[in-house]
Amino acid sequence: MLEILNVVVRLFTWGFSLYRWLKKREEFMLLLSIALWIDFLAAFTQQPILTCLGLSPDATALMPLLSMFAVIEAVLLITTSFFVLERLKMFWGALTVAISSLLGPAYILAGVLLNVSPTVLMAFPLLFLGIALMLAGYALVKEEVGTKNIATLFPLGLFLLGIINVTYPITIRTSVAPYLYGLGAVFRAMVFVGMVGYALFHVVPPKSISVNLPPGAFYVESRRALKILIDKMQQSGNGVLITRSSPQKMAFTFPVFWITRIISGRISENAMAISPTDIGILLDLVKRHLEKGHSLVVVDSFEYLVVENGFESALKFLLSLKDIVMNFNGTLIVITSPSLYSEKQWGMISRELEKLKLE
C-alpha cells in the first residue's frame, strides 16, 4: 500500500507543479516540473513498487536506469536552483551545470562497462541527487516560497529527502533502511502538501508600477481616503489591502487580505481570508507581493489587530510592516484615528507614521 501511495503522491506532485507552470509560466517552474516528472518515472525502477504492481523485470537492468534518472533529475534541480538564486548566468553557475551534465552519465556508463556492484553504481547518482534536492529546498525557501506558509512544506520536504539520499551509500545495508524508507514517504507527503499550497497561491505582479504616492509610512483619518486609495489600486492593479471589510462583494484587481475569524484561506482570485492572530504569516504574504513589484500597502484594520493581539504585538507588526515596505521603497498607509487609542499608544504610533492629506 505504501508503495502505491508513493507513486500516486509523485504523480500528483508533478501534476500540481505543471498546473503552477501553466498558470504563471515561470521559467524555473518548467524546469522543476520536468524534474518532478523524472522523479515520477523513477518510481517504476524501484523493486518494491514493481513487485506491488505485479511486475518482475530483471533487477540488473533497473539499476542503470534508476541511476540515470537520478542524474537527470539532479541536473534539472541544480539548474532550477541556480535560476532561482540568479546564479545560472554566472560563469561558475553555468560551469557547475555543464560539469554535472557531463560527469553524471559518464560515471554510470563507466560503472556499467566495468560491471561494478549496484551499491557502487548508485553511490554517486544518489549522493548527487541528495545534494541537488537540498540545494533546491534551500533556494526555494530563500527566494521564492518563504518560511511562514503551508507552501514551505514543499522545499522543506525536498531538503529532508535530500538528506536521506545523501546517506544512502552508508545506510542501504543497515537495519535503519526500512525506517528511512518510511520517513521518505512522510517527506514526500510534505512535498505534495506544500506543492498544492504553492500551486494554488497566486502572486499577481501589478499592471502599473506607479501609484502617484510618495514613498514612506503615513496615516490618514478620513474614511473617504480609503475609497480614493482603493480606486487607485483598482485602476493600477498595484497595491495590497489589509482590511476588516469582506472583499466578497467586489472583484478586486489587486491582492486583498481580509482579517477575520470566520473563514480562512483563498476566497477569490485576489482575496484571501486570514486570522487576526496570524500576523507573522500576514507579513510574509505582504512581502511576497512587494517582491513581485507592488509598491503600496494599505492597512484598514490596525485597531482590530490591537484588540486581537494586544497593543504591543500589534505595534511590533506595524513596525515590521513599515520596515518591509521601506526596504522596497514603497508606501505604507494606515487608515486610523487618534481617538481609538490612549495618548501614550498614539504617541508611539505617530512617531512612526506621518499624517497624509489625501482628498
What are 115's three cell numbers? 560491471
For residues 59 and 192, membership in a common domain is answered with yes
Q: What pLDDT, in 10s, does the model give residues 112-155?
A: 999 998 888 988 999 999 999 999 999 998 877 766 668 889 99
pTM of this structure: 0.67
Pair (127, 157) in one structural domain: yes
Q: Are residues 221 and 294 in the same domain?
A: yes
Q: Which residues contact 337 (CB under 8 A, 6 or more apart)?
A: 221
Report if residue 81 sits inside a domain.
yes
Per residue in 235-267, pLDDT tens? 888 999 999 988 877 788 889 999 999 888 778
Both 153 and 80 in one domain: the answer is yes
Examine the domain organization and report whether 163 and 237 are in the same domain.
no
**The last residue of a domain, from among 142, 166, 200:** 200
β-strands 265-266, 271-274 pairing: antiparallel
Same domain, 111 and 189: yes
Closest of 221, 227, 262 to residue 241, by C-alpha: 227
Is the pLDDT at 169 greater than 80? The verdict is no
**210 located within any domain:** no
Do 255 and 227 meet the contact criterion of CB atoms below 8 Å apart? no
Question: CA–CA separation, 22 vs 6, rounded Å?
Answer: 24
The verdict on 183 and 230 lying in the same domain is no
* Cell triple for 277: 492572530
In a domain, 45, yes or no: yes
Residue 321 lies in a domain: yes
Which of 165, 200, 235 finishes a domain?
200
The number of angstroms, rounded, from the C-alpha of 11 to the middle of its chain's C-alpha atoms is 19
Both 240 and 265 in one domain: the answer is yes
pLDDT of amino acid 201: 72
Give CA 307 to chain center in angstroms: 31
Among 108, 48, 119, residue whose Cα is nearest residue 74? 108
Same domain, 159 and 283: no
One domain, residues 238 and 92: no
Decide if 205 is inside a domain.
no
| b (16+ CB within 10 A) / e for 209-220 | eebebeebbbbb
**Taking 80 as the threshold, does the pLDDT of residue 221 lie above it?**
yes
Confidence (pLDDT) at 204: 64
**DSSP H helical segments within the chain, as ranges?**
2-24, 27-42, 47-52, 59-84, 91-113, 118-140, 153-166, 168-171, 177-200, 223-236, 279-291, 302-309, 311-327, 343-350
Burial class for 162, CB neighbours closer than 10 Å (0-12, 13-18, 19+): buried
Q: Cα–Cα distance between 183 and 100 in angstroms, integer?
A: 28
In the three-class reduction of DSSP (H, G, I as helix; E, B as strand; rest coil), residue 116 is classed as coil
pLDDT in tens, 185-194: 899 999 999 9
pLDDT exceeds cutoff 90 at 159: yes
3-state SS, residue 11: helix
C-alpha separations of 39 from 79, 223, 228 in Å:
15, 54, 50
Structural domain of 263: 216-355
Is 211 contained in some domain? no
Phi, psi of 57 (to 5 degrees): -70, 170
Q: Name which residue leads in pLDDT, 211 or 184.
A: 184
Q: Which long-range contacts (CB under 8 A, 24 or more apart) does 105-109 make?
A: 105/68, 105/71, 107/71, 108/64, 108/67, 108/68, 108/71
Q: Are residues 133 and 220 in the same domain?
A: no
Q: Of the residues 200, 235, 266, which one is the last residue of a structural domain? A: 200
Question: Nearest-CA neighbor of 260 among 277, 281, 285?
Answer: 277
Q: Enter the C-alpha cell of residue 314.
A: 500589534
For the chain, what is the domain count? 2
Residue predicted with more confidence, 84 or 144:
84
Q: Report if residue 223 sits inside a domain.
A: yes
307: domain CATH number is 3.40.50.300
- The one-character DSSP state at 248 is G
Do residue 189 and residue 220 come from a single domain? no
Cell of 239: 497595491
